Amino acid sequence: MGVCASTQIPTTRRLITAGSQNQMSASDRIRRLSTTAATAKVINAVDGRLHEFPTPIQAKQITSKNPNFFLCSAETMSVGACLIRAAEEEELQSGQIYFLLPESRAQKPLSLPDLCSLAITASSALCKSQPATVDRISSRKKSNSSRKFR
């Protein structure tokens, strides 16, 4: 996801100073969760909901049920560039994160705040979808992204 969540980050653990419990960083958690599951993860950028689809599935099977929205792979996002829509015939890849975005976002370059907002939305959606035993930070309040894509 460009600047906010690089795929080049090694999966190391950080010590949280407030306690003796080891926790993975948010970007490490997103990377691990997005590459280990046998489903394609689609996050609605407007409401933050996560939907998992068994693969193979074509982009058009998702967009046909969501008029005025398009799919974009998190891997193709970068600051200053327009979002690259997934082709209708494209098969979504297992373990990858995709965003379901409103058509109004299709021709607008992605700003750093936009990308960070999407990263926060993805992190929140992925954490909510995991069982309580998987690297959750329970002592901290979860912050919701104040910006929504419309």
**Predicted local confidence at residue 38, as pLDDT:** 84
**Residue range 16-44: mean pLDDT, rounded:** 61
The domain in which residue 61 lies consists of: 36-127
Q: With respect to residue 78, please indicate whether it lies within any of the assigned structural domains.
A: yes
Q: List, for residues 62-90, the tens digit of each pLDDT value.
A: 999 999 999 999 999 999 999 999 999 99
**Predicted local confidence at residue 31, as pLDDT:** 58
> CB within 8 A of 66, min separation 6: which ones?
100
How many domains are contained in the chain? 1
Q: With respect to residue 20, please indicate whether it lies within any of the assigned structural domains.
A: no
Of 73, 58, 67, the residue nearest 110 (C-alpha)? 73
Q: With respect to residue 140, please indicate whether it lies within any of the assigned structural domains.
A: no
Any idea what the CATH number is for the domain that residue 55 is in?
A: 3.10.20.30
Per-residue DSSP letters for 125-138? Answer: HHHHHS-TTSS---
Of 102, 92, 98, the residue nearest 54 (C-alpha)? 92
Q: With respect to residue 99, please indicate whether it lies within any of the assigned structural domains.
A: yes
Distance CA 148, CA 102 (A): 11
Amino acid at 44: N
Are 79 and 2 spatial neighbours (Cβ–Cβ below 8 Å)? yes
**In this model, does residue 143 exceed pLDDT 50?**
no
Q: With respect to residue 50, please indicate whether it lies within any of the assigned structural domains.
A: yes
**Residue range 13-26: mean pLDDT, rounded:** 43
Share of the chain above pLDDT 90, in %: 59
**Residue range 23-51: mean pLDDT, rounded:** 75
**In this model, does residue 22 exceed pLDDT 90?**
no
Are 82 and 108 spatial neighbours (Cβ–Cβ below 8 Å)? yes
Q: With respect to residue 71, please indicate whether it lies within any of the assigned structural domains.
A: yes
Q: With respect to residue 105, please indicate whether it lies within any of the assigned structural domains.
A: yes
Report pTM: 0.65
**Predicted local confidence at residue 21, as pLDDT:** 40
**Predicted local confidence at residue 129, as pLDDT:** 83
Range in 38-47, 63-72, 89-98, 140-149 with the lowest mean pLDDT? 140-149
Q: With respect to residue 121, please indicate whether it lies within any of the assigned structural domains.
A: yes
